[in-house]
Amino acid sequence: MAAVKDKGKGILASLDWVTIVLYIALLGLGWMSVCGATYDFEQGGNFFDFDTRSGMQIVWIATSFLLGMLILTIDERLFDTFSYVLYAAFLVLLFATPFLARDIKGSLSWLKVGPFSIQPAEFAKFATALCVSKYMGSTDYDISRWWNFLVSCLLIVVPMGLIVMQRETGSALVYTAFFLMLYREGMPGCILFAGISAVLYFVVGVRFDQDALWGIQAISLGQFLVMTMILLFTVGMMRLYTEPLAPVLRVFGYGVGLTLSALLFSKYVIPFDVAWVQLGVCLVTIGYLFYLAVKQNLARYAYIGLFAVGSLALYYSADYALNNVLKDYQQTRVRVLLGMIDDPKDAGYNVIQAKIAIGSGGLKGKGFLNGTQTKLKYVPEQETDFIFCTVGEEEGFLGCAVVLGLFLALILRLIHLAERQPYASGRIYGYSVMSIFLFHVMINVGMVLGLAPVIGIPLPFFSYGGSSLWGFTILLFIFLRIDAGRDRFVHN
Amino acid sequence: MANDRQYSYRKYVLGGAAVLLILVYLCRLFMLQLMSDDFKRNADSNAFLKRIQFPARGSISDRTGKLLVYNRPSYDITVVLSEMKSMTEQDTLDLCKSLGITREWFDRRMLEIKDRRRNPGYSPYTQQLFMTQLSAEEFSNFQERIFRFPAFDVQKRNIRQYSYANAAHILGDVGEVGPADIEADDYYQSGDYIGKLGVERSYETQLRGEKGVEILLRDARGRIKGSYQEGKFDRAPVPGKNLTLSIDLELQQLGERLMKGKLGSIVAIEPSTGEILCMVSSPTYDPRIMVGRQRGANNLRLSADPLKPLLNRAIMGQYPPGSTFKTSQALTFLEEGIITPSTAYSCSGGFHFGRLKVGCHGHASPLPLIPAIGTSCNGYFCWGLYYMFNNRKKYATTQQAMTTWKDYMVSMGFGYKLGVDLPGEKRGMIPNADYYDKYLRSWNALTVISISIGQGEVNLTPLQIANLGATIANRGYYITPHVVREVQGEPLDTLYTARHYTKVSARNYEYVVEGMRRAVTGGTCSSANNPWYEVCGKTGTAQNRGHDHSAFMGFAPKDNPKIAVAVYVENGGWGATYGVPIGALIMEKYINGKLSEASEEKASSFENRTIYYGSSQR
Chain A nearest CA to B146, separation (Å): 22
B77 by Cβ neighbours in 10 Å (0-12 / 13-18 / 19+) ranks as buried
Q: Does residue A376 belong to any structural domain of this protein?
A: yes
Question: At B247, is the secondary structure helix, strand, or coil?
Answer: coil
Pairwise CB contact (< 8 Å): A373 & B44: no
Cα–Cα dist B506/B510, whole Å: 7
CB A300 within 8 A of CB A242: yes
Question: At A143, is the secondary structure helix, strand, or coil?
Answer: coil
* Predicted local confidence at residue B346, as pLDDT: 84
* Predicted local confidence at residue B5, as pLDDT: 64
Identify all chain A residues contacting B125, using CB atoms and an 8 Å cutoff: none
Of B372, B375, B291, nearest to B333 by C-alpha is B372
Q: What is the largest CA-CA distance in chain A?
A: 88
CB A444 within 8 A of CB A458: yes
Of B434, B440, B439, nearest to B406 by C-alpha is B434
> Within a 10 A sphere around the Cβ of A379, how many other Cβ atoms?
29
Contacts across the A-B interface (CB distance below 8 Å): 130
Pairwise CB contact (< 8 Å): A411 & B18: yes
Identify all chain A residues contacting B26, using CB atoms and an 8 Å cutoff: 400-401, 404
Interchain CB contact of B440 with A (< 8 Å): no
Identify all chain B residues contacting A449, using CB atoms and an 8 Å cutoff: 25, 28-29, 32
Cα–Cα dist B276/B270, whole Å: 6
Beta-strand pair B350-353/B193-195: unpaired
CATH superfamily for B249-296+312-607 is: DD-peptidase/beta-lactamase superfamily (3.40.710.10)
Strand partners, B539: B552
Per-residue pLDDT tens over the stretch B423-463: 999 999 999 999 998 888 888 888 899 999 999 899 999 99
Which residue pairs, CB below 8 angstroms and at least 24 apart, start in B284-288?
A: B284/B166, B284/B168, B284/B169, B284/B256, B284/B259, B284/B309, B285/B168, B285/B309, B285/B310, B286/B165, B286/B168, B287/B69, B287/B162, B287/B165, B287/B166, B287/B167, B287/B168, B287/B171, B287/B173, B288/B161, B288/B162, B288/B165
- A63 shares its domain with A124: no
Handedness of CA B292, B296, B301, B305 (dihedral sign): positive
Identify all chain B residues contacting A361, using CB atoms and an 8 Å cutoff: 33
Identify all chain A residues contacting B13, using CB atoms and an 8 Å cutoff: 183
**Which stretches of B450-555 are DSSP H helices?**
462-473, 506-522
Cα–Cα dist B469/B504, whole Å: 14
- A332 shares its domain with A461: no
Pairwise CB contact (< 8 Å): B46 & A449: no
Pairwise CB contact (< 8 Å): A356 & B220: no
- A208 shares its domain with A333: yes
Q: Which residue of B has its CA nearest to A416?
A: B11
Per-residue pLDDT tens over the stretch B246-258: 999 999 999 999 9
* Predicted local confidence at residue B583, as pLDDT: 95
> Testing the interface with A: which of B1, B23, B29, B36 to mutate, by most A Cβ within 10 A?
B29
- A319 shares its domain with A412: no
Chain B nearest CA to A145, separation (Å): 13
Q: How confident is the model at residue B614 (pLDDT cuts 50, 70, 90)?
A: low
Mean pLDDT taken over chain B: 88
Interface of B with A in 13-42 (CB under 8 A): 13-15, 18-19, 21-22, 24-26, 28-30, 32-34, 36, 38-40, 42
Pairwise CB contact (< 8 Å): B32 & A358: yes
**Which stretches of B337-377 are DSSP H helices?**
369-375
* Predicted local confidence at residue B185, as pLDDT: 86
Q: What is B50-209+218-245's CATH topology?
A: Penicillin-binding protein 2a (Domain 2) (3.90.1310)
Per-residue pLDDT tens over the stretch B44-95: 777 777 778 888 899 999 999 999 999 888 888 888 887 787 788 888 888 8
Identify all chain A residues contacting B36, using CB atoms and an 8 Å cutoff: 359
Per-residue pLDDT tens over the stretch B498-542: 999 999 999 999 999 999 999 999 888 888 999 999 999 999 988
**Mean local confidence (pLDDT), B183-197:** 85
Cα–Cα dist B409/B507, whole Å: 18
Pairwise CB contact (< 8 Å): B25 & A357: no
Closest CB to B39 among A184, A360, A427: A360
- C-alpha angle with apex B131: B126 to B137, nearest 5 degrees? 130
Q: Which residue of B has its CA nearest to A452?
A: B25
* Predicted local confidence at residue B24, as pLDDT: 93
Identify all chain A residues contacting B221, using CB atoms and an 8 Å cutoff: 377
CB A389 within 8 A of CB A448: yes
Cα–Cα dist B230/A44, whole Å: 12
Q: Which residue of A has its CA nearest to B28?
A: A449
- Report, as ranges of residue numbers, the positions in chain A whose pLDDT lies below 70: 1-9, 42-45, 327, 329-330, 332-334, 336-349, 488-492
- A161 shares its domain with A98: yes
Chain A nearest CA to B157, separation (Å): 28
CB B71 within 8 A of CB B159: yes
CB B79 within 8 A of CB B95: no
Closest CB to A358 among B1, B4, B33: B33
Identify all chain B residues contacting A45, using CB atoms and an 8 Å cutoff: none
Identify the domain boundary among A118, A152, A185.
A185
Question: At B214, is the secondary structure helix, strand, or coil?
Answer: strand
Cα–Cα dist A60/A324, whole Å: 46
Amino acid at B225: K
Identify all chain B residues contacting A397, using CB atoms and an 8 Å cutoff: 29-30, 33-34
CB A114 within 8 A of CB A130: no
Chain A nearest CA to B234, separation (Å): 16
* Predicted local confidence at residue B2, as pLDDT: 44
- A236 shares its domain with A332: yes
Cα–Cα dist A238/B374, whole Å: 116
What is the domain range of residue A108? 81-185
Closest CB to B26 among A396, A404, A438: A404
Of B255, B277, B241, B235, nearest to B473 by C-alpha is B277
Q: How confident is the model at residue B211 (pLDDT cuts 50, 70, 90)?
A: confident
Q: Which residue of B has its CA nearest to A360?
A: B40
Cα–Cα dist A291/A305, whole Å: 10
Tell which wins on pLDDT, A49 or B610: B610
Pairwise CB contact (< 8 Å): A392 & B25: no
Chain A nearest CA to B240, separation (Å): 34
Q: Does residue A486 belong to any structural domain of this protein?
A: yes
Closest CB to B11 among A184, A396, A400: A184
Identify all chain B residues contacting A408, using CB atoms and an 8 Å cutoff: 18-19, 22
List phi, psi (to 5°) of A35: -60, -50
CB B551 within 8 A of CB B569: yes
Residue B293 has pLDDT above 80, yes or no: no
Cα–Cα dist B591/B49, whole Å: 57
Chain A nearest CA to B33, separation (Å): 4
Q: Does residue A302 belong to any structural domain of this protein?
A: yes
Cα–Cα dist B432/B439, whole Å: 11
Name the E strands within B530-591.
Answer: 536-542, 549-556, 563-569
Pairwise CB contact (< 8 Å): B38 & A400: no
- A301 shares its domain with A369: no
Q: Does residue A473 belong to any structural domain of this protein?
A: yes
Identify all chain A residues contacting B43, using CB atoms and an 8 Å cutoff: 356-357, 359-360, 372-373, 393
- A303 shares its domain with A202: yes
* HEC letters along B103-163: HHHHHHHHHHHHCCCCCCCCCCCCCEEEEEEECHHHHHHHHCCHHHCCCEEEEEEEEEEEC
Cα–Cα dist A347/A325, whole Å: 24
- Delimit the domains of chain B by residue range: 50-209+218-245, 249-296+312-607
Pairwise CB contact (< 8 Å): B22 & A424: no
Buried b (16+ CB within 10 A) or exposed e, B452-461: bbbbbebbbb
Identify all chain B residues contacting A364, using CB atoms and an 8 Å cutoff: none
Pairwise CB contact (< 8 Å): A357 & B43: yes
B85 by Cβ neighbours in 10 Å (0-12 / 13-18 / 19+) ranks as exposed
Pairwise CB contact (< 8 Å): A415 & B14: yes
Strand partners, A113: A116
Per-residue pLDDT tens over the stretch B58-69: 999 999 999 999
- A410 shares its domain with A475: yes
Cα–Cα dist A33/A47, whole Å: 11
Number of folded domains in chain A? 3
Cα–Cα dist A23/B378, whole Å: 107
- A165 shares its domain with A67: no
Q: Does residue A432 belong to any structural domain of this protein?
A: no
Interface of B with A in 245-284 (CB under 8 A): none
- A296 shares its domain with A256: yes
Please list, in sequence order, all residues whose beta carbon lies within 8 angstroms of the beta carbon of residue A85, skipping any fewer than 6 positions away: none
Closest CB to B47 among A372, A404, A438: A372
- A69 shares its domain with A100: no
Handedness of CA A395, A400, A402, A407 (dihedral sign): positive
Cα–Cα dist B370/B347, whole Å: 14
> Testing the interface with B: which of A180, A355, A356, A449 to mutate, by most B Cβ within 10 A?
A356
Pairwise CB contact (< 8 Å): A360 & B6: no
Q: What are the distances in angstroms from CA A271 to CA A205, A228, A265, A268, B103?
A: 21, 19, 7, 7, 49
C-alpha gyration radius of chain A: 25
Pairwise CB contact (< 8 Å): B14 & A183: yes
Pairwise CB contact (< 8 Å): B32 & A355: yes
- C-alpha angle with apex B178: B172 to B182, nearest 5 degrees? 110
Cα–Cα dist A255/A286, whole Å: 12
Identify all chain B residues contacting A373, using CB atoms and an 8 Å cutoff: 43, 46-47
CB B45 within 8 A of CB A378: no
